[in-house]
Amino acid sequence: MTTLRALPPATGAWRPGDATGRRQFFTAGRPLQLESGDSLPDFQLAYETWGTLAVDRSNAVLVLHALTGDSHVAGPAGDGHPTPGWWDGLVGPGRVLDPARFFVVAPNVLGGCQGSTGPASTAPDGGTWGSRFPALTVRDQVAAEAALADALGIGTWAAVLGGSMGGMRALEWAVTLPDRVASALVLAAPAQASAEQIAWAWPQIRAIEEDPGWHGGDYHDLPAGEGPHNGLGIARRIAHITYRSEPELSARFGRQYQHGENPRDGGRFAVESYLDHHATKLVHRFDAASYVTLTRTMNSHDIGRGRGGVEAALRRITARTLVAGVDSDRLYPLAQQAEIAAGVGTDLRVISSPYGHDAFLIEVDQIAALLTGLVAYQRAKSDR
């Protein structure tokens, strides 16, 4: 378990020698050509699974995490897993993704920091990738996940599911590899990053890169207490504001002081303490360079790139697709999901919640209701 009282490590990344927990590891053993023209000479993906792959391989479900998520979709926190499963209410016995029926696969994204190849990983020369790690796109990440699917013997996913950054990858899967996706849930994600979303991301990136502990991106092997912790913490504070809604923050915190602290005396408002808490948690469990890499990846997200635009790209989708958004989401507003739904030719599903963008993690009952219809349809289809 992560101890927040301790000095934060230079990186919160999982590294060889740390407890593996439920992780399994796939090593490609071959180069991955990237959209940028660069390549990774080899790569590894950490992943977790629940259930057993059916003999006919028809029950595989791919679950894709958001920016600071990881492969630990379900299960408690513990050695190797600093946080509980982020969709724990959806995966498990008696739940909508019941391992008795489905083979659930959740990879840590390429460029991430919880066991998959990323800036904190070891490069071919034996040093840490650090500043040398190449730029990635969502399509690069999907290509890596397709290699994992090949290794697992999965030709077509019964369903590909994701929210936020995971929703971007779910959509890219459906567009790039339509014959390998039978159904998809795209939740709280856009078809392309907007100028405003890129603008929100830019001060987060700059906060990290201008931290004196950044060292040009080569800080990973510094002792505990060093590294770009302040920058990563500021980035998290900025991001977290966009993850929640103004009405929720107002109702929850108002202008309350934190436990008797008074801002006039150098204390904090309760909402400031809340943001500080989330910043502190993240610097103990995440890598600043992965945060920059993945944020830039999300900024580059555009399913229409090189395909004649978004509308043309969406016409490539053959999967039964559910598109859902959150009515209080100010980061990825409903209009962006409406664009996807219209392009796919389906109705937009709306999650009603005061929690803003974070509702894709919180409103488990509403998400389960969406998934019930999707996976029941797919299961019935495979049983015919």
The catalytic residue positions are 164, 329, 357
Alpha-carbon distances, residue 135 vs 35, 227, 290, 324 (angstroms) = 9, 21, 11, 29
State the Cα–Cα distance between residues 179 and 318, nearest whole angstrom. Answer: 7
Angle of helix 288-299 versus helix 138-152 axis, rounded to 10: 110
Question: Nearest 5°: CA angle at 101, between 99 and 103?
Answer: 55
User: What are the CA-CA distances from residue 215 to residues 7, 64, 71, 228, 231 (Å)?
Assistant: 19, 31, 29, 8, 12
The crossing angle, in degrees rounded to 10, of helices 195-209 and 288-299 is 160
Could you tell me how far CA 213 lies from the centroid of its own chain?
Answer: 25
Report the distance separating Cα 51 and Cα 99, nearest Å: 4
SS3 of 9, please? coil
Residue 343 zone, left/alpha/beta (φ > 0; ψ -120 to 50; rest) = alpha
DSSP calls for 63-122: EE--TT--S--SS--BTTBSS--TTTTTBSTTSTB-TTT-EEEEEPPTT-SSSSSSTTSB
SS3 25: strand
